[in-house]
Amino acid sequence: MKKGDRYVINGSKNWITNGPKADAIVLFTMTNKAAGNKGITAFIVPTDAKGFKRMAPDKKMGISAAWSCSMYFEDLEVPAENLLGKEGEGFKVAMSTLDGGRIGIASQALGIARAAFEEAVRYSGERKSFDKLLREHQAIQFMIADMATELDAARMLVLRAAHLKDQGVRHSAESAMAKLYASEMASRVANKALQIFGGMGYSKEMDAERHVRDARITEIYEGTSEIQRIVISATLLKD
């Protein structure tokens, strides 16, 4: 609701990354419900503003180093000068950053998977079973080969999307492909790595279990895997 040269905002949002520590946020709010997407407006809001309330950090199964929390806005007054873009351009602002954000999550997934892979390869050269190093068993060799192949495939998709972004070329489908494949690949690779560690992989003494937990979120935030498939298919099936 607009009141003079200020906007009065009420509402809430969950899972705000860096929310517990942020000095300011970009807030997207509906300023004209009847206008649909064109009724969304973006604001820059300091977190010490009156009416701004953030809750305790969320308790999550993974990515514990990335704090998040819920936020509430109760009669929060934001001056018009804090608009990011113009009124009604919030959706455009959000979409302009989303494709790049998906490349970022794909890169995160790639890093998690790479760490899991390298630790599993190292462990396979240290641990023995049936008087042989793990890496000397064909079953382990096949797992490592699959992991390495998937890692390289994901890396190529991420690099392609990043290159297109650098060139200023539309890359919605390519970013979605990179995010979809890299995130699901990360879960597969992290699970295979844990399997190579065996019982020790299930212990918190090793990082293997953490990689499994950290990888899972990359299939969810910045658009779930299902959303990525919708974006990809909509681009391919466009009339």
pLDDT in 10s for each residue of the chain, 239 residues: 788 889 999 999 999 999 999 999 999 999 999 999 999 999 999 999 999 999 999 999 999 999 999 999 999 999 999 999 999 999 988 888 889 999 999 999 999 999 999 999 999 999 999 999 999 999 999 999 999 999 999 999 999 999 999 999 999 999 999 999 999 999 999 999 999 999 999 999 999 999 999 999 999 999 999 999 999 999 999 86
pTM, 2 dp: 0.89
For residues 120 and 188, the answer to whether their CB atoms sit within 8 Å is no
Report the C-alpha gap between 113 and 195 in whole angstroms: 14
3-class secondary-structure state, position 40: strand
- Domain 2-82 top-level CATH class: mainly beta
Q: How confident is the model at residue 214, as a pLDDT?
A: 98
Active site residue 222: yes
**Single-letter amino acid, residue 130:** F
For residues 88 and 31, the answer to whether their CB atoms sit within 8 Å is yes
Residues 6+ apart with CB under 8 A from 14: 70
Q: Which of 174, 184, 209, 222 is catalytic?
A: 222
Q: How confident is the model at residue 169, as a pLDDT?
A: 93
Report the C-alpha gap between 91 and 94 in whole angstroms: 5
Q: How confident is the model at residue 31, as a pLDDT?
A: 93
CA distances to 47, 52, 177, 198 from 21, in Å:
9, 14, 32, 38
Report the C-alpha gap between 109 and 35 in whole angstroms: 37
Q: How confident is the model at residue 172, as a pLDDT?
A: 93
Q: Which segments of the chain belong to CATH 2.40.110.10? A: 2-82
Q: How confident is the model at residue 96, as a pLDDT?
A: 80
For the domain with range 93-236, which CATH number is right: 3.30.460.80, 3.40.50.460, 1.20.140.10, 3.30.70.2500? 1.20.140.10
Q: How confident is the model at residue 4, as a pLDDT?
A: 83
